[in-house]
Amino acid sequence: MQGYGYRISTATNTVSGSPLAPPAALASGLTVERHVFDVDGNNIDDQDLEQGTTVIVVLKGEVNTQNI
Does a structural domain hold residue 14?
no
Does a structural domain hold residue 5?
no
Q: Provide the pLDDT for residue 7.
A: 75
Does a structural domain hold residue 15?
no
For 60, residues 6+ apart whose C-beta sits below 8 A from its C-beta are 32, 33, 34, 35
What is the model's pTM?
Answer: 0.53
pLDDT in tens, 14-43: 999 998 998 888 778 888 999 999 999 999
Q: How many domains does the chain have?
A: 1
Q: How confident is the model at residue 64 (pLDDT cuts 50, 70, 90)?
A: confident
Q: Provide the pLDDT for residue 55.
A: 96
d(CA 60, CA 39): 19
Does a structural domain hold residue 39?
yes
Does a structural domain hold residue 7?
no
Domain, as residue range, for 40: 30-60
